[in-house]
Structure 1
Amino acid sequence: MTALSDLPVSFAAARKAIDDSHAEDPKTAPSADGSDKKVPNELHYARKMSRWLAVRSPDASPTLQLACRAQHFRRLFPSKKVHVQLVYESSSLINLTRGKRWEIPRDSFPMTRTGYLTWRAKQKTQAAEKITTLLSSIPSSSSAAAAALSAEDIDRVAALVRKENLSADTETQVLEDVACLVFLDDQLDDFGKRDDVDEDKMVNILRKTWAKMSPRGREIALDMRLSERAKTLVGKALAG
């Protein structure tokens, strides 16, 4: 399997700090190694992001590796009731399924399309602020004997987490591709089993999500091992 390049010591310490925070998630997911072991959901998701980043961009920069590891850092996942509303608001299925978002309830904003977009922007801003604070505290908060990350590197990670200049920034597009790939790999089948999401909605959201991916991201997605149901949905989305 393709692997990412080793991180410099300071970046490796930063990744550990990010993972330590993810490990606080009380919700768990099956371990990716096929064992019976459960892992914190956010840590599972972060590892999946790194795995697909290695496929999408094996030469990813250290800052992109950190941004992928932290791309929805400590956000709050909406309740099931709010989920139903999001199905109608979102232009991307990825926006509905990104793990446990801890600190900004969806229902703290109006349940409208404008309210949804405001909530999403606030999430990105807060995640970037929190990851900036965390990375700026290293090495004081870490036992690793590593030099602190530069302010420039920290700012770059935060900009990627905010997904700035998505249409023009190659690394931001890579991060978006990776999030889409993780969804297809890890979440599509479970999402499709929900009572509040019918096939038409799935196809429509998949179609809009596909439009956000780069040609390379789409190429990888088409080569993924998907369930027969997932293949059918993707096929219908692309046929339209």
Structure 2
Amino acid sequence: MTKTPFYIASELIDAENAQDPNSETYQSKSYPKELLYSDRMYKKLMEFHPDASEEVQIASKAQHICRWKIARESYPMDRVGYLKWREDLKKFHAQTTAAILEKAGYESDFIARVSFLIEKKLLKKDEGTQLLEDVICLVFLEFYLDPFVQKHDREKMKNIILKTWNKMSDKGHQQALKISYSDSNLQLIKEAIGL
């Protein structure tokens, strides 16, 4: 059986993310953190928008590729440092993925589109970027909201939720309200978005 470029790219992305020295336990099993995130992103995309383009599918899997290689601590611990870290990460994820896609045999136009998506360009204007952002937000709300709630006070959490909500489309909002939250987290979300 000949492996498709998508199959090769997926294997290579998974192999990179499997090297994450940080682990996360989910349902009593330990996973490399970014490999688990990548799986969650892809599964959520397929559940939310099963006919997503191949470019969006790859961008979903590679969204945080090798994220541990650029530590937050290597930037000033203020808002400016945080924003610079986020920008550098986007470029790093896009470049790392581009090299993999070239190896997998994709054309340059396809690779450029995946980079565009990973760098989240034209949010709210580009359909693919918006779809990817919706999936990022849905994965955050379903799997990562709770750990944030443990770390931050209520007002800061409401601010984080509202910022997340404002990045999403109407379809994303509808999907977000179908996620099974704890009663306290659902209440927090409702307060944050004014429901």
TM range (shorter): over 0.9
CA RMSD of aligned residues (A): 1.6
1:78-93 equivalences in 2 (<5 Å): none
1:11 alignment partner, one of 2, 6, 9: 6
The residue that corresponds to 1:202 in the other structure is 157
Q: What is the alpha-carbon distance in structure 2 between the residues aligned to residue 51 and residue 150 of structure 1?
A: 25
Q: CA deviation at 1:137?
A: 2.1
Q: CA deviation at 1:216?
A: 0.4
Q: One-letter code of the match for 1:224?
A: I
Alignment: residue pair count: 193
Q: CA deviation at 1:187?
A: 1.1
Q: CA deviation at 1:191?
A: 1.6
8 Å CA contact 1:109, 1:115 repeated in 2: yes
**Structure-1-length-normalised TM-score:** 0.76
Q: Does 1:24 align with 2:19?
A: yes
Identify which of structures 1 and 2 has the higher relative contact order when contacts are C-alpha pairs closer than 8 Å and 6+ apart: 1
1:130 alignment partner, one of 89, 96, 104: 96
**Structure-2-length-normalised TM-score:** 0.92
Q: CA deviation at 1:178?
A: 0.5
8 Å CA contact 1:56, 1:216 repeated in 2: no
Partner secondary structure for residue 70 of structure 2 = coil
Q: What is the alpha-carbon distance in structure 1 between the residues aligned to residue 155 and residue 54 of structure 2?
A: 39
Q: One-letter code of the match for 1:135?
A: L
Q: What is the alpha-carbon distance in structure 1 between the residues aligned to residue 141 and residue 102 of structure 2?
A: 33
Percent identity between the two aligned chains: 40
Q: What is the alpha-carbon distance in structure 2 between the residues aligned to residue 104 and residue 28 of structure 1?
A: 16
Q: Does 1:231 align with 2:180?
A: no
Unaligned runs of 5+ in 1: 1-7, 76-101, 139-147
8 Å CA contact 2:38, 2:64 repeated in 1: no
Q: What is the alpha-carbon distance in structure 2 between the residues aligned to residue 16 and residue 201 of structure 1?
A: 38
The residue that corresponds to 2:41 in the other structure is 49
1:140-179 equivalences in 2 (<5 Å): 148-179=105-136
Structure showing the higher helix proportion among its residues: 2
